[in-house]
Amino acid sequence: MQGDISRKIIIALDFPSVEEALDVVQVLKDFKPFLKIGMQLFYLSGPSLVYQLKEQGFPIFLDLKLHDIPNTVKGAAQSLARLGVDLLTVHCAGGRNMMEAALEGIEQGLTGGAVAPQVIGVTQLTSTSQKVMNEELKIAGSMEACILHYARLAEESGLHGVVCSPLEVELIKKQIGQDFLVVTPGIRPRSAKHDDQVRVTTPREAIRLGADYLVIGRAITKAANPLQAYQDILEEVKGAIG
């Protein structure tokens, strides 16, 4: 049971060096949590770190937020399919054709009986406020309406789920279905700073709202004792589920 619950927490390895990332991985190795490799680390290390961590038995969330013309995204997804990652992100704002192209690229890139990653769409970043969305991005309406629209578009395009703040999880699950995957960044324990995140909740609240996975970075990786921070959050998640 603990293994299943521990996989609900995705550790964001947002580090400027491979060495720092591997230090945290070493601390958490006995739990084998999901690990998120984002743009900073992937642009630094390329596929080699992905292969290394997969060989050690870690599930990988490759968070590159693909967003380009459909043909370019298709080619990128085709290349990334060969890495054997478990989750991969694209931007919902790229539209239906782009999201469908990503899935086509995945299928064409699979080799040797490899399992396709689940592809999920980024709706709105958790650092984006209502004001920024309306005034800077010029997207009218409420945050909830925009995110639900993107989630429906992702589902219609064949994606497995979306990334959104925990605040929209309940709405998406109700409107689209409980099997539609929802991955939530913007998770902060009550004692942690919000940093550059705007729309946040605690781990307990996110689980109770229906989140499938919680993406947590600095609250664990920058803690004085990352292992203790991880175990504290794991206990909070177990309490919310149990």
Q: Which stretches does DSSP call E strand in 76-229?
A: 87-91, 118-122, 161-163, 181-184, 213-216
Give the CA distances from residue 127 to residues 17, 152, 213, 240, in Å, rounded to whole numbers and listed in that order.
Answer: 24, 22, 18, 25
Is the Cβ–Cβ distance between 102 and 119 less than 8 Å?
A: yes
Of these residues, 54, 65, 222, 238, which one is catalytic?
65
65 is catalytic: yes
Q: Where are the alpha helices (DSSP H) in 28-142?
A: 39-45, 47-55, 70-80, 96-109, 130-131
* Partners of 36 in beta bridges: 12, 61
Which uninterrupted H or E stretch holds 21? helix 18-27
Phi, psi of 231 (to 5 degrees): -65, -35
The Cα 242–Cα 234 span in angstroms is 12
Kindly report the backbone phi and psi dihedral angles of residue 164, in degrees, each rounded to the nearest multiple of 5, phi listed first: -155, 170
Q: What is the Cα–Cα distance from 168 to 30, expressed in whole angstroms? A: 32
Where in the sequence numbering do the catalytic residues fall? 65
